[in-house]
């Protein structure tokens, strides 16, 4: 037997037992005739004591109560121990001893005991690893090195704990849905191209020259077909693939909890997911949920108050809108922005009035990437007047000379600012003003320490617009996907006022991350056809891409809806990880490269020929 116990399970009550452990050498401390090995496996660490004294007594008396068991091969064990290095894989047999008083290690679960080695065998030697594995040092190690040696990175406690948490979360989710009569169904990975907003990964067919499968961006159509098949409650922990330009924290493949239900309305799906998230939080986190039931914001409310459809509600600092107040301002930046159809909104920086010009310039730089040309600022340096209002005399601001008393007082009131606060304003089109301020709000939250890291602030965002205008393509596109239903009352304006149509869609947000989204679907063929027409698809395109869906809807489709949740995001949030790469076993780099396997890689010409494919240009693979 290679092991009788794990390295994490022995306790004082096991003292006297003869055991065999196998694992990696986390650390070796050599005291001459006495060598300590910290032996590690995925369950923990046990201290192994190897001594040249057959009784197990160290030469210096440091460990006086250690007595050897039946070990009479101590000298051999000691000789082997002296060859052992970090990350060697070894097998140890010996007896469990309580550590002498004062030698316990409260940091280790096994810290009350040690194993006095009688036999030690090297199962596998190890080269010096490219970074330190014991403990959590190594975070400063270049991520490219960590990804190339991912199997070593995964030995380190933090990543190992993240994957364990991921396992626990997925297991919890599975059990939750099994218990509620959901059927777990696997859907194909080799699928047909599905337009869901991103580019498909395509797979050439050898048997059908010139034809391609596509990897699923999500199992959206399959789960709807399962509803038509009568399965009623489906879920899957589904792998999804999207060939997107990878932004900071995206991966080309990721995992979703995907589910679909028949005979439900939005409220039913939301209630079930809310129940799941509440119980999951209790199961895997000590952090309290900020507010129950989860607050529900409309999309318009979220944009208005937070400038974003996934607000971080762990802190307040709502945005305020002063477009009307400054419509006719003498301050040209405001007036011109409003005249051009823009908006003027702001956010308060608590106790920011005394920020230096340099700090304020930093904030201005901060909003520039979002397209904002600048930030107007007003510091409440003085006291309010007797009437409780601020006049231009009590404000510090480069724009104050352009504002009327009414405008400056109105701005202060709208912002809710108090003495010592700073007001920051952006005047631009909504697509610039909102994201600039949404991100500025987060930055202020972080700088002013307003975010409580120990809170879980869930919320729902509902009533999304169904469509958005794509000015480059000069047509309307689906915000969610083309199967999402309009609200019943909005179907009548689909053709005339597409911008005003609201969707039966819902997103669930945690601490400013969108962790899931779904909708009630269209289940009637004629409405689905109208939707495709609204999206500008020709009859031929509809037929080629979605003919099977329209046909299926003609054989009795139940009303249905569902949701998908990003497993990596959920795990990353509960693990307090900075990136979804920290909760994936083998992630790719930001440019979609697998540094361990060196994928993507060229393939043999024969392989290409078999696939009826010719490569036009070959680029060196870059990271
Ligand atoms: N398939 C959708 C997505 O991946 C989710 C859904 O509508 O259920 O975003």
Residue 505 CA: nearest ligand 1 atom is: 7
pLDDT of residue 57: 58
Q: pLDDT band for 62, please (50, 70, 90 cuts).
A: very low
pLDDT digit string (tens) for 249-268? 889 999 999 999 999 999 99
Secondary structure (3-state) at 433: helix
Distance 446 CA to ligand 1 centre (A): 31
**Is 50 exceeded by the pLDDT of residue 65?**
no
pLDDT tens, position by position, 491-503: 999 999 999 999 9
With b for 16 or more beta-carbon neighbours within 10 A and e for fewer, the 218-238 pattern comes to bbbbbbbbbbbeebbbbbbeb
Nearest to 491 by CA among 470, 522, 525, 536: 522
CA of 56 to the centre of ligand 1 (A): 63
Q: 401: exposed, middle or buried (C-beta count within 10 Å: 0-12, 13-18, 19+)?
A: exposed
The answer to whether residue 71 scores a pLDDT higher than 90 is: no
Q: Shortest CA distance to 550 belongs to which of 569, 563, 537?
A: 537
Ligand 1: which atom is nearest the Cα of residue 561?
A: 8
Residue 411, pLDDT above cutoff 60: yes
Report the nearest-CA residue for atom 8 of ligand 1. 563
- What is the 622 CA–ligand 1 centroid distance (Å)? 32
Pairing of strands 320-321, 296-298: unpaired
Asked whether 63 lines ligand 1 (CB < 6 A), one says: no
Q: Any alpha helices (H) in 505-580, and if so which ranges?
A: 525-534, 539-553, 567-575
pLDDT band at 158, cuts 50/70/90? very high
Average pLDDT rounded to a whole number, residues 385-409:
87
pLDDT number for residue 394 = 84
Q: Is the pLDDT of residue 61 over 70?
A: no
CA quadruple 460, 496, 224, 481: dihedral positive or negative?
Answer: negative
Please compute the mean of the pLDDT values over residues 73-90 and round it to a whole number.
93
In this predicted structure, what is the pLDDT of residue 69? 45
CA atoms of 293 and 89, how far apart (whole Å)? 51
Residue 622 pLDDT greater than 80, yes or no: no
Q: Ligand 1 atom 4: the closest Cα is on which residue?
A: 218
Dist. CA 460–CA 474, nearest whole Å: 31
- Reading the block at residue 479, the tokens are 């915000």
d(CA 508, CA 270): 9
Check pocket membership of 562 for ligand 1, CB cut-off 6 A. Answer: yes
* 219 C-beta closer than 6 A to ligand 1: no
Q: Calculate the alpha carbon distances from 575 to 284, 292, 321, 450, 565 in Å.
A: 9, 22, 36, 21, 16
**What residue's CA is closest to ligand 1, atom 7?**
518
The whole-number average pLDDT for the span 92-120 is: 97
d(CA 580, CA 250): 8
345 CA distance to ligand 1 centroid (A)?
A: 32
- CA–centroid distance, 520 to ligand 1, in Å, is 11
Q: Is 218 in the pocket of ligand 1 (CB under 6 A)?
A: yes
Q: What is the mean pLDDT of residues 268-295?
A: 98
The per-residue pLDDT for 70 is 46
pLDDT, one tens digit per residue, over 296-338 is 999 999 999 999 999 999 999 999 999 999 999 999 999 999 9
Q: Tell me, what's the pLDDT at 388?
A: 79
Sketch out the chain's domains with CATH numbers. Answer: 12-124 (2.40.50.140), 136-286+559-617 (3.30.930.10), 315-451 (3.30.1360.30)
Distance from the CA of 481 to the center of ligand 1, in angstroms?
8
Could you tell me the distance, in angstroms and rounded to a whole number, from the CA of residue 219 to the centre of ligand 1? 8
272 vs 236: CA distance, rounded Å: 16
Nearest atom in ligand 1 to 219's CA: 1
**Cα–ligand 1 centroid distance for 337 (angstroms):** 37
Closest atom of ligand 1 to CA, residue 483: 7
Q: Is the pLDDT of residue 44 over 70?
A: yes
| Interval between CA 353 and ligand 1 midpoint (Å) | 44
Rounded distance from Cα 266 to ligand 1 centre (Å): 14
Question: 448-471 pLDDT, tens per residue?
Answer: 999 999 999 999 999 999 999 998
d(CA 138, CA 155): 12
Average of per-residue pLDDT across 565-574: 98
564 lines ligand 1 (CB under 6 A): yes
Hey, whose CA ends up nearest to atom 1 of ligand 1?
220
Residue 136 has pLDDT above 80, yes or no: no
Residue 389 has pLDDT above 90, yes or no: no
Question: Strand ranges (DSSP E) for 380-523?
Answer: 422-428, 458-462, 467-470, 475-478, 505-510, 513-520
Q: Is 397 in the pocket of ligand 1 (CB under 6 A)?
A: no
| pLDDT over 90 (residue 129) | yes
Is 517 touching ligand 1 by the criterion CB < 6 Å? yes
Regarding the beta carbon of 224 and ligand 1, being less than 6 Å apart is answered: no
To the nearest whole number, what is the mean pLDDT of the chain?
A: 93
If you measure from the C-alpha of residue 98 to the centroid of ligand 1, how many angstroms do you get, rounded to a whole number?
Answer: 56
The answer to whether the CB of 236 is under 6 A from ligand 1 is no
pLDDT at 530 over 50: yes
Question: Ligand 1 pocket check: which of 258, 264, 485, 549 to mutate, most ligand atoms within 8 Å of Cβ?
Answer: 258
CA 225 to chain centre: 29
Residue in this structure with the two tokens 């490569």, named with its chain if needed: 615
Ligand 1 centroid to residue 388 C-alpha, Å: 51
Position with higher pLDDT, 596 vs 393: 596
């Amino acid at each position: 037997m290679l092991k009788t116990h794990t390295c994490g399970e022995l306790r004082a009550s096991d003292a006297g037992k003869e055991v065999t452990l196998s694992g990696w050498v986390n650390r070796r401390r050599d005291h001459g005739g006495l060598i300590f090995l910290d032996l590690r496996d995925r369950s923990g660490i046990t201290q192994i004591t190897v001594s040249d004294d057959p009784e197990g007594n160290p030469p210096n008396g440091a460990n006086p109560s250690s007595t050897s068991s039946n070990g009479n091969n101590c000298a051999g064990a000691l000789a082997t121990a002296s060859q052992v290095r970090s990350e060697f894989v070894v097998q140890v047999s010996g007896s469990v001893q309580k550590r002498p008083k004062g030698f316990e290690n409260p940091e280790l679960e096994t810290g009350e005991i040690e194993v006095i080695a009688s036999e030690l065998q090297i199962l596998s030697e190890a080269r010096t690893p490219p970074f330190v594995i014991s403990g959590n040092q190594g975070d400063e190690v270049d991520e490219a090195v960590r990804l190339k040696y991912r199997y070593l990175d995964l030995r380190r406690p933090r990543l190992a704990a993240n994957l364990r948490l991921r396992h626990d979360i997925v297991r919890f989710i599975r059990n939750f849905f099994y218990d509620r009569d959901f059927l777990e169904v696997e859907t194909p990975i080799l699928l047909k191209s599905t337009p869901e907003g991103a580019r498909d990964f395509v797979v050439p067919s050898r048997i059908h020259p010139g034809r391609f499968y596509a990897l699923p961006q999500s199992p959206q159509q399959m789960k709807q077909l399962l509803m038509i098949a009568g399965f009623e409650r489906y879920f899957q922990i589904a792998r999804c693939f999207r060939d997107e330009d990878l932004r900071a924290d995206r991966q080309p493949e990721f995992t979703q909890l995907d589910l679909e239900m028949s005979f439900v309305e939005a409220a039913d799906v939301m209630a079930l997911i809310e129940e799941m998230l509440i119980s999951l939080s209790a199961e895997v986190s000590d952090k309290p949920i900020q507010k129950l039931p989860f607050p529900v914001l409309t999309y318009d409310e979220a944009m208005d108050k937070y400038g974003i459809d996934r607000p971080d509600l762990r802190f307040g600092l709502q945005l305020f809108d002063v477009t009307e107040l400054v419509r006719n301002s003498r301050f040209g930046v405001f007036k011109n922005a409003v005249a051009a159809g823009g908006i003027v909104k702001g956010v308060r920086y608590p106790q920011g009035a005394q920020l230096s010009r340099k700090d304020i310039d930093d904030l201005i730089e901060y909003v520039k990437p979002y397209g904002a040309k600048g930030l107007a600022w007003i510091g409440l340096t003085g006291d309010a007047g007797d009437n409780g209002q601020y006049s231009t005399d009590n404000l510090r601001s480069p724009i104050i000379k352009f504002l009327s008393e009414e405008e400056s007082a109105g701005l202060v009131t709208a912002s809710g600012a108090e003495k010592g606060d700073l007001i920051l304003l952006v005047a631009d089109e909504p697509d610039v003003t909102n994201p600039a301020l949404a991100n500025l709000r987060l930055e202020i939250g972080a700088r002013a320490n307003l975010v409580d890291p120990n809170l879980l602030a869930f919320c729902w965002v509902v009533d999304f617009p169904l469509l958005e205008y794509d000015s480059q393509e000069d047509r309307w596109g689906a915000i969610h996907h083309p199967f999402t239903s309009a609200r019943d009352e909005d179907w009548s304006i689909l053709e005339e006022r597409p911008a005003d149509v609201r969707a039966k869609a819902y997103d669930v947000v945690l601490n400013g991350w969108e962790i899931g989204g779904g909708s009630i679907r269209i289940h009637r063929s004629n409405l689905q056809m109208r939707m495709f027409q609204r999206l500008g698809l020709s009859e031929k395109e509809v037929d080629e891409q979605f003919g099977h869906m329209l046909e299926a809807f003609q054989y009795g489709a139940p009303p249905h809806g569902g949701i998908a949740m990003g497993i990596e995001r959920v795990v990353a949030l509960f693990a307090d990880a900075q990136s979804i790469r920290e909760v994936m076993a083998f992630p790719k780099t930001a440019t979609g490269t697998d540094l361990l396997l060196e994928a993507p890689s060229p393939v043999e010409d024969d392989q290409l020929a078999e696939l009826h494919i010719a490569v036009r240009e070959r680029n060196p693979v870059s990271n």
